[in-house]
Amino acid sequence: MDTQSPMFNRRAFLAAASASLSTTALRGVPCLGESTAAPVRGKAEQCIFIWLGGGMSQIDTFDPKRLGVPKKREAGSAYQAIPTAVQGVQVSEHLKRTAHLMDRITAVRTVNHKVIDEHAFATNLVHTGRPTGGTLIFPSVGSVVAHERGAAAEGVPAYVLIGYPNVSRGPGFLGPKAGYVYLTDTKAGPAGFSRPEDVSVERQTARTQLLQSIGREAAKAAPVADYDQTVAESLRLAGPKFMNVFRLEDEPSSLRESYGGEFGQRCLVGRRLIESGVRFIEISHNLGFLNGTGWDTHNSGQLKQHLLIQELDSALATLITDLEQRGLLDSTLIVIGTEFGRPAQFDAGGGRGHQGTTFSLVLAGGGLRHTGAFGVTDELAKLPVENPVSVPDFHATIYATLGIDTTKSLSGGPRPVPITDGGRPLAQLVG
C-alpha cells in the first residue's frame, strides 16, 4: 500500500489528532479556549447564610449616599452615614456595632440582576444562581455546599435551614441527600426529631426493630429504600449530639441578650450548629411584625425600617465577635443575602420600590481579605460604576471560599450542569 497517498495521509492525520486529543483529555490538560489558571480556593470550612427576605435597601444600610427627604420625595438615603473601622467606608447610622467590625466584613455593593418585580423569581435566582425556567430544578447554594462537602462532623446534618422551607432553598436535581433539615422554633429544634415523652428508649427501639422486619424484600425497591434511608437518618439525628444544640439555656444570659430577639437567637443557634459540625446553615430574618412589612419596605414599611436594621446590627455584630472569640471566624463564612435592593427614590407612601440594577450582598469572616466594601456605585446606588458583580460571581465566591472547585460540573440531572452559570470568584477577596 502506498503510504504516501493523499488518502492514507488524511486518515493518518485524523487518527493521530484523535489520539492526541484523547491523551490531552485524559491528562487533564485544558482544551483550546479553556482557562489554564488554577481554581481560586479559600480555606473556610462552614457557612452561615443570613437571608433578609423582601429586599434589603442597600442605600439605607451598607451603601449609604446623600440624605434624601421622604416627605418631599427627594431621592437619597433615609439615615445618616457613619464611619467604620475601614477608612473611607461608611454604613448607616443604625449599623453602629457592625461599623466597628467592617475590617472583618466586605459589603459587595455592585451585585446586579434583571429581576425586579417578582420576589419569588428573584429569591430563586439569588439562592440558585440561575433564573427559573424549563423543567430542570437547580439546587440552592446550601444544597451545593452540602453535596460537595458533606457534614463537617458525624451525627449532624450537612445543611440546616432555620426558617420556612421552599423549592428555592432545596436540592433540586441533586436529590434529597443534598436537602436540608429545617426548624422554625429555635427552642424545640427540628419538628419530629424529639421522641414523645410517653415513648421510652426501649419502646422506640422495639418499634424500629419491628419496622425493619417488615417487608425486607419490598425494601429493595428504590422508593422504599429511600424511605428507609430517611427514617434511619432521622433516628440518627434525633440523638443527643444534634438535639443538644438547641438548648440555648446553656448559654450565658449576657450573650443571649447581646444577640437580641428571636432573630438573634436564631443566629446563636447558628453558631452552636457550626460548633456541632453542620456545614451550611441558612437563617431567615422574616419577622415582619417589627415594621409591619419586613424588608419589603413599600409605603409605611419604610417608617420603621430602622428597627430591622438595628436588629440585624445586634445579631451580626455579636455573631462575628462570638465566632472570633471561639477561634471560628476564619473558618466560618458569613453571608447576608437578599433578593434585590431598593431605589433611592421614595414612593408616594414614603417607602421604596424594587431595584435589581445594583444592590448589596455581604461577606464576613471566612478567612477572606476583607476591604469593608467591594465595588463602587453611582451617586444614588442605582448602577455599578466599578467592579460589577453578577449573582453567579457571588456564588462562585462563596464556593471558592469554602474550598469548592468552581470550574467543575454537577451531575444528577439529565445532563452535567456547571456549578455556577459562568460565575467567577472575586479573586481580590479569596485566597
The model's pLDDT over 294-317, given as tens digits with 9 standing for 90+, comes to 999 998 889 999 999 999 999 999
In DSSP notation, 302-313 reads GTTHHHHHHHHH
Which of 105-109, 128-132, 139-143, 233-237 bottoms out in mean pLDDT, i.e. has the lowest?
233-237
As a whole number, mean pLDDT of residues 338-367 equals 96
| The pLDDT of residue 30 is above 50 | no
For residue 281, the model assigns a pLDDT of 98
Identify the residue with better confidence: 16 or 116. Answer: 116
Q: Tell me whether strands 359-365 and 332-337 are parallel, antiparallel or unpaired.
A: antiparallel
For residue 411, the model assigns a pLDDT of 87
For residue 25, the model assigns a pLDDT of 39
Percent pLDDT > 70 in the chain is: 80
Percent pLDDT > 90 in the chain is: 69
* β-bridge partners, 183: 162
Confidence of residue 188 (pLDDT cuts 50, 70, 90): confident
User: What phi, psi does 88 have (nearest 5°)?
Assistant: 90, -10
Distance (Å, rounded) from C-alpha 86 to C-alpha 361? 18
For residue 35, the model assigns a pLDDT of 42
| The pLDDT of residue 320 is above 80 | yes
Q: What is the number of H-type helices and E-type strands within the chain?
A: 11, 15
Residue pair 368/401 in contact (Cβ under 8 Å)? The answer is: yes
For 267-288, what is each residue's pLDDT tens digit? 999 999 999 999 999 999 977 7
Confidence of residue 226 (pLDDT cuts 50, 70, 90): low
For 146-171, what is each residue's pLDDT tens digit? 999 999 999 999 999 999 999 999 99
Type of residue numbered 230: T
Question: Minimal CA–CA distance to 333: which of 4, 72, 42?
Answer: 42
DSSP 114: S
User: What phi, psi does 277 have (nearest 5°)?
Assistant: 110, 10
The rounded mean pLDDT for the chain is 86
| The pLDDT of residue 235 is above 60 | no
For residue 132, the model assigns a pLDDT of 87
For 61-103, what is each residue's pLDDT tens digit? 999 999 999 889 999 999 999 999 999 999 999 999 999 999 9
Which of 10-24, 35-49, 223-237, 267-281 bottoms out in mean pLDDT, i.e. has the lowest?
10-24
User: What phi, psi does 374 have (nearest 5°)?
Assistant: -130, 130
Distance (Å, rounded) from C-alpha 246 to C-alpha 266? 10
Q: All domains of the chain, ordered by start, with CATH?
A: 38-194+238-418 (3.40.720.10), 200-232 (no CATH)
Identify the residue with better confidence: 70 or 334. Answer: 334
Count the alpha carbons within 13 Å of 56 in the hemisphere toward its beta carbon. Answer: 29
For 398-425, what is each residue's pLDDT tens digit? 999 999 999 999 987 678 999 999 999 9
Distance (Å, rounded) from C-alpha 365 to C-alpha 321? 10
For residue 185, the model assigns a pLDDT of 84
Distance (Å, rounded) from C-alpha 395 to C-alpha 397? 5
